Structure 1
Amino acid sequence: MEKLISWDQIMDQSLKVPGMKIVRTEFLIQAFGAYGNTHLLDNQRPIDLYGEDVIHKIAGDITTKHLRLTTATSTVAGIPGGLAMFGTIPADLGQFYVHILVLAQKLGYIYGWPDLLDENKNVTEGTRNVLTLFVGVMFGAQTANKAISEVGKSFAIQVGKRLPQQALTKTVYYPVVKEVGKWIGIKITKDIFAKGVGKVIPLVGGAVSGGITYISFNAMSKKLQKHLHKEMLLLPKTTVNNFYNDISEDTDYEHINTENKNRIEDLELLSIQACINMAKIDFDLDPAEIDFISSMIEESGLTTDEKMTLLENLRSMDLFKIDFTQLKENELYSIALIENLAAVMHADSVIKPAEKIYFHKVISELGFTKEQMSDYLVLPADEE
């Protein structure tokens, strides 16, 4: 695998662009201005005030606007010398994710999510984590789909409040967000390597870039729109009376964190051990696999001694004996593990027979069927 592009780096660069921070009420008042009752949007979701057809139209119009903008910019960026570098990231990639992140915020608000910014209209760690999950949904990460569904049930109906800023930083979801971020980085890296050849052909490169951008952006936005729409319909109608009875900013996340900390670390350790087994199962430890797993270890919440033990094992050929019972009881972490195992398999762009056998063994122990997880045995290049 080429040097892995960091999703955090892309987000850091994108969030510096003016106009990136979308304030919920301000945006919704403008978007739904033609339909009246916008003064009620402070305390209610758009679906509670307007019909499903209106929601669909507004979401479609907003998506089309950003699709046109990013495609036009990408066509120019694809021509050598067309645009300057976006910090340390190519301009084409940078502008694409600026629109992706802006659209993610807007779709979130249209489909009922609370304000993702703090009281000073600033991006917080909680904001970044929600946006990472939204983009994960766009990339087809089942972990992100599952996490958004669980988080959305707790937060989507408290629309007039802001997202509790500790909600995704001090609970069981936080390690999952980190895994989704890695998944996004891997997908971006492989997509760029597979599709970047058009950039070296003058003039033709611009057309190729614009076409790829149109297809990619359209498919990604539709995935998020479809998922958020489905989740919106599953939630009860919000009223001013029940609006303040949801999770409050005073929720004792510190207590939740203490209560779950050991369990989270156990699940993280188990997941990393399984990925190490996957990397070594074919007796051919690829540098890309080492880099990916080393990153998992470094960014985990494990102790220094535990991290050192894992790194030492990575350099040996011994396999861990793993009991997947704990993971089987947690679907969110099970799916996250499966996606991590797939990332290890895909790291060297070749899926070996031994890797496939180990993958099937793990998914079986987690209670999934081969048919349910067959997509993970398809390399990105085969998806075109």
Structure 2
Amino acid sequence: MQTWKHNLTPGAKAGDVDGQSSPSGRRAFLKAGATAAVGLALPPLITGAAATAAPRPIGGQQEPFRGPIDDQPISLEFAQRRWNELGIGDERGALREITPEKTTNALRMLHKGTAHVYDLGDKMFPGVPAFPSAPPRRWDMYITWYDLGGENRLTGLEERFAAMTFQVGTQIDNLNHIGIDDHYYGGFTRDDLLPMPELVDPASRAAKATQDSQADHHGPGSILRGCPHLGAEHIGPIVTRGVLVDVLAYMQCHGRHEALSEGRDTLAPNYRITIQDIEATLGWEGISRLDPGDVVIFRTGWNKLWADSALWSRYLSSEPGIWLAEARWLAQFRPAIVGGDTWGLEVFPSPVPTRFGEPHQLLLAQEGIRIGEGYVTDGLSEAGKYEFVFIDTPQHAVGATATHNGPAAIATS
């Protein structure tokens, strides 16, 4: 595979206008021929130890990741050094990179042409496929009916949940979701975050929650509360630049059949998206830069399996995605969110059978970069829109480890 180089400069100045693609674009790039250079250069991969710095204030932009771009295992010692750089006690993480200037620059992409809105959210319904756990992850909704009375014969319907979690479907994984041992982003520990930490067994916690709910017990001593730190209430509305890394379309266009499934409508199960794949895809799209505060979304086609219940076992048993070197490569640009159209973002099963979920640990727990899962990007791909305004208004679910909402992309024709 030929790798095209890009001027993806980590830590771009806040005053730079976001969303400025290479003027060539994908069409011009393709027209120039397969051997044409696009005049862009990657930053050198930093191979030395991460530079140490004094603790940073919790406000404002944060110190970008500097360290080896490799697959070395996650280190709690290195993560603790990063928390000192990013801010002990910080609860916002890389969302701090979405400054008013960042949002303003993103919206400037819409000043010409007609705006089109693309729905990035999957439909939610009882029985949706979810990674297995005990108690199981479910989104089991039912509808109740009320005869509310009055001469006007008022009746009403309302939804209730027999079982529900935000950790299924289109979601933003929050910073309290994943830890390194008992340590979480910002230097918090499990006991700092977990209500009633003396109850460890999930079944015991579920039984206590049912008991407290039935007793309408929400006060002191109740388990019915979220994490006191790092909760979803710290996310807030998001309006920023989005970048679609359409790896699937790139592989299809270039006949990279070894990267594709048998039907060639998705990436192959367990296909690892490499740094070279990311570089080549961005160059083909005409994307010349990734900036702090961006939302970077990978398209693999895996969401097609969500729509067919006969394929759910395949959907959950594996997925294409990135691994540690790619997560470190992305982290140097300080994106606010790294997401994809799969249920877990990273390649599964893991390239190393004895290690599980390390890209989640690196992005969430070490770097404070949230993870988006279950995004539907087919509409953007069909329209050839690789830069857009990303918008989401997550629920202020106090203490939650993830949040639902229907994210959207806005791009001009």
TM-score by length of structure 1 reads 0.23
TM-score by length of structure 2 reads 0.22
Greater strand proportion: 2
Greater helix proportion: 1
> Which structure ranks higher in relative contact order (CA pairs < 8 Å, sequence separation ≥ 6)?
2
